[in-house]
Amino acid sequence: MGRERVSSRAMIIAIDGPAGAGKSTVARALARALDLSFLDTGAMYRAVTLAVLRAGAAVEDGEACGVIARATRVDIAPDGEVLLDGVPSGEAVRSPRVDEAVSPVSAHPEVRREVVPVQRAVAARGRGVVAEGRDTTTTVFPDADHKFYLAATPAERARRRAAQIGQPERAVEIEGELARRDRLDSTRATSPLTLAPDAEVVETDGLSVDEVVAALLARLAEGGGAD
């Protein structure tokens, strides 16, 4: 007893933005700096997508994907790793097959209906979370304590992705792939990528991860990114 935390609800910081804007890396580092948990919402959709592919279901079949999402236990371990039926999913959720299938699978309302409540339950545990993902500021946590939208030009995002996988020569090809995913993710009917009116936009071109994290910490200290 004695400490405020007993009665206050968990703190939620939501970070949104397009693919390759550095959301994961920044959110993970910010969570560490603030001693909060890191919630990678995209990894949860990736885990469901892996289950769909393993089951041999068609990624366009919303009903089948929803059935698989309901039958699959997706959770986040205390270290932030995504668990698929209790087993750490590891690098399997980052495979090119999953990269390709995750946009259509995550677009199904039948899938989101299963995944979003788990995300909220994870966020309610402990001291709170830094949640990262393209509908976290709008749909999953509309009442988040702080909301940030990380922006970066497509060329910068592609350059970072290519460097991250150790293949800088693939930047142009990756830029095309990112543009395809941006289009799918922002034009779909359910939870499209949109900028929440109360999210603070942070332009990240030319900034290192540490510089972006420092910018977010400074804005939090000023009371920025608040809803």
Task: Please give the residue ranges that form the binding site for ligand DC (CB under 6 A).
Answer: 19, 41-43, 45-46, 102-103, 106, 133-136, 181, 185
Name the minimum Å distance from CB 26 to ligand DC: 12
Euclidean distance between CA atoms 155 and 178, whole angstroms: 10
Euclidean distance between CA atoms 203 and 207, whole angstroms: 9
Euclidean distance between CA atoms 95 and 153, whole angstroms: 24
Q: Which is nearer to ligand DC, 27 or 220 (CB)?
A: 27
Name the minimum Å distance from CB 45 to ligand DC: 4
Name the minimum Å distance from CB 111 to ligand DC: 9
Name the minimum Å distance from CB 19 to ligand DC: 5
Q: Which is nearer to ligand DC, 106 or 204 (CB)?
A: 106
Name the minimum Å distance from CB 99 to ligand DC: 8
Name the minimum Å distance from CB 186 to ligand DC: 10
Cβ contacts of residue 70 below 8 Å, gap of 6+? Answer: 114
Name the minimum Å distance from CB 219 to ligand DC: 22
CB 212 within 8 A of CB 21: no
Query: What one-character DSSP code corresponds to residue 165?
Result: T
Query: What one-character DSSP code corresponds to residue 5?
Result: G
Helix axes 109-124, 96-106, angle to 10 degrees: 100
Positive or negative CA dihedral for 212, 165, 21, 126?
Answer: negative
| DSSP state letters, 21-63 | SSHHHHHHHHHHHHT-EEEEHHHHHHHHHHHHHHHT--TT-HH
Among candidates 115, 140, 104, which has minimal Cα distance to 43? 115
